[in-house]
């Protein structure tokens, strides 16, 4: 994309069933092992916090957040590669953190591929810390890849006023 960030309107709004085909395009562009339409439909049906990032009148990113029992879990966050390095992933993540806090979560967890250096960097900069590893969590071309488990304590970040 050659448009400067200031030349288009960027909006995050709740995901709708009608967004699923556009969300799938982002998912398939962003990941070698994308979620299916049925998984996104199930997330909507289950009442997870599902959001889309719009720019230039199209879906360019999405987020799925589950909240319950004082914890939140970022289940999926993706931005179309054509729209990387414009702050969309950071905006989606910060929206997730605000929603988690608003819904009573004290901690937010996520899994990330160690090979996804950009995502690991984003999460660390936003205050997430590694708390574990899930062995053989993700499919990979040569078998399975571990996942880093990361956690953010919202009580700490709220007091520091980071967001």
Tens digit of pLDDT for each residue in 106-137?
Answer: 999 999 999 999 999 999 999 999 999 999 99
Q: Which residues of 16-38 are buried (b: 16+ CB within 10 A; e: fewer)?
A: eeebbebbbebbeebeeebbeee
Question: Averaged over 66-79, what is the pLDDT?
Answer: 97
Tens of pLDDT, residue by residue over 4-14, are 444 567 899 99
Domains, in order of start, for the chain = 5-160 (3.40.630.30)
Distance (Å, whole) CA 58 – CA 104: 31
CA angle 100, 50, 43 (to 5 degrees): 110
Residue 131 marked in a binding site: no
User: For the CA atoms of 16, 82, 138, 49, what is the dihedral angle to 10 degrees?
Assistant: -20
User: Which of 1-15, 21-35, 82-96 has the least mean pLDDT?
Assistant: 1-15
Catalytic residues: 111, 123
The answer to whether 48 and 75 are in contact (CB under 8 A) is yes
Q: Any known ligand binding at 76?
A: no
Q: Is the pTM of this model over 0.75?
A: yes
Q: Check whether 92 is labelled as a binding-site residue.
A: no
> Does 96 have pLDDT greater than 70?
yes
């Amino acid at each position: 994309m050659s448009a400067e960030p200031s030349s288009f309107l960027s909006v995050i709004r709740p995901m709708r069933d009608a967004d699923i085909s556009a969300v799938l395009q982002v998912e398939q562009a962003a990941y070698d092992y994308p979620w299916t339409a049925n998984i996104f439909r199930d997330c909507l049906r289950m009442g997870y916090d599902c959001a889309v990032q719009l720019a230039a009148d199209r879906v360019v990113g999405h987020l799925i957040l589950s909240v319950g029992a004082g914890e939140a879990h970022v289940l999926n966050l993706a931005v179309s590669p054509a729209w990387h390095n414009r702050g969309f992933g950071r905006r989606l993540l910060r929206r997730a953190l605000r929603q988690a806090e608003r819904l009573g979560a004290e901690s937010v967890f996520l899994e990330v591929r160690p090979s996804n250096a950009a995502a690991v960097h984003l999460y660390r900069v936003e205050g997430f810390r590694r708390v574990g590893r899930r062995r053989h969590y993700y499919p990979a071309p040569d078998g399975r890849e571990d996942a880093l488990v990361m956690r953010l304590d919202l009580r700490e970040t709220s007091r520091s006023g980071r967001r």
